[in-house]
């Protein structure tokens, strides 16, 4: 394997011409690594461990992958391939972005190590396919590619931020258990009286009356409303938004 000097793993060919048939494949190694990381966390997916799972020696993996870092990039793109996204956008941008957001969340939830890694865009084939779908959803007359960038970024950012919070909140024991155990610290924070908004969060907690799914969906619609309000033709705005919010605006401008 080339070792160093390549731009990204995607420019390194899987295998050359001469020599014995390889016993494994990148896809197989990647899938094994993902399975271990899913079950026992990212740090459990060491080269030795992956190799053991495959019944071989650690160093054999380096015939397929230049380094562990590259394997991680392969893992990211591998799970992005689980997208149940249509081949092309439907024409209903709102429905398509909703699909994109839910897919982003679903993948991150299924592979909780992803947020540790996600960052740097590696432009793997599956990442390209997903991005193509999201950007294509907003391929609307009058929208520049820069605007599309911003709006897709809003959805991506929302989804990742939300799923990160969900994972953080559900780490280790149950939410109830966690709340009980951190109660003394929370109480001590509240006792300072310097965090009124934190106090509102604790007191008016949303957990009781919303499931994570509902919470995510609700926030997502607010993001989509925010985008819709700025589209040239305002397509995709919810009835509620037009009826409720714009009524206020019209009334206000009448008064002025």
H helix count then E strand count, the chain: 12, 0
Q: How far is the CB of 65 from a second copy (least distance, A)?
A: 18
For the beta carbon of residue 122, count every other beta carbon within 10 angstroms: 18
Nearer to DNA, 20 or 208 (CB): 20
Q: Which stretch binds a second copy (CB under 8 A): 32-40, 48-56, 61-69, 188-196?
A: 188-196
Q: Which stretch binds DNA (CB under 7 A): 65-73, 108-116, 139-147, 155-163?
A: 65-73
Residue 135 binds to a second copy (criterion: CB under 8 A): yes
Is the separation of the CB atoms in 93 and 147 below 8 Å?
A: no
Query: What is the enclosing helix (H) or strand (E) of 191?
Result: helix 183-191
Residue 187 binds to a second copy (criterion: CB under 8 A): no
Q: How far is the CB of 251 from a second copy (least distance, A)?
A: 11
Write the DSSP string, 8-20.
-GGGS-S--SSSS
Among 27, 59, 210, 243, binds a second copy (CB under 8 A): 210
Residue 31 binds to a second copy (criterion: CB under 8 A): no
Q: How far apart are CA 63 and CA 35, in angstroms?
A: 21
Q: How far apart are CA 9 and CA 124, in angstroms?
A: 9
| Contact set with DNA (CB under 7 A) | 1, 3, 15-24, 43-44, 46-49, 56-60, 62-64, 67-69
């Amino acid at each position: 394997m080339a070792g160093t000097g390549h731009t990204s793993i995607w420019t390194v060919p899987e295998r050359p011409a001469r020599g014995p048939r390889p016993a494994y494949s990148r896809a197989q190694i990647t899938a094994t690594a993902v399975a271990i990381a899913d079950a026992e966390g990212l740090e459990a997916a060491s080269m030795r461990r992956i190799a053991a799972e495959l019944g071989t020696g650690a160093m054999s993996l380096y015939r397929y992958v230049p380094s562990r870092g590259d394997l991680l990039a392969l893992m990211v793109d591998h799970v992005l391939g689980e997208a149940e996204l249509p081949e092309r956008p439907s024409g209903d941008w709102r429905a398509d972005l909703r699909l994109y957001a839910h897919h982003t969340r679903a993948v991150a939830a299924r592979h909780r190590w992803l947020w540790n890694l996600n960052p740097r865009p590696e432009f793997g084939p599956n990442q390209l396919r997903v991005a193509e779908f999201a950007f294509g959803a907003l391929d609307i007359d009058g929208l520049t590619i820069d605007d599309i960038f911003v709006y897709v970024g809003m959805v991506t950012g929302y989804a990742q931020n939300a799923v990160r919070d969900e994972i953080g909140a559900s780490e280790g024991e149950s939410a109830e258990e966690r709340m009980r155990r951190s109660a003394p610290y929370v109480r001590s924070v509240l006792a300072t009286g310097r965090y009124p908004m934190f106090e509102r969060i604790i007191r008016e907690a949303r957990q009781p009356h919303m499931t994570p799914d509902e919470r995510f969906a609700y926030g997502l619609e607010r993001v989509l409303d925010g985008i819709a309000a700025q589209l040239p033709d305002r397509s995709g705005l919810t009835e509620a938004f037009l009826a409720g919010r714009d009524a206020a605006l019209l009334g206000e401008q009448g008064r002025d």
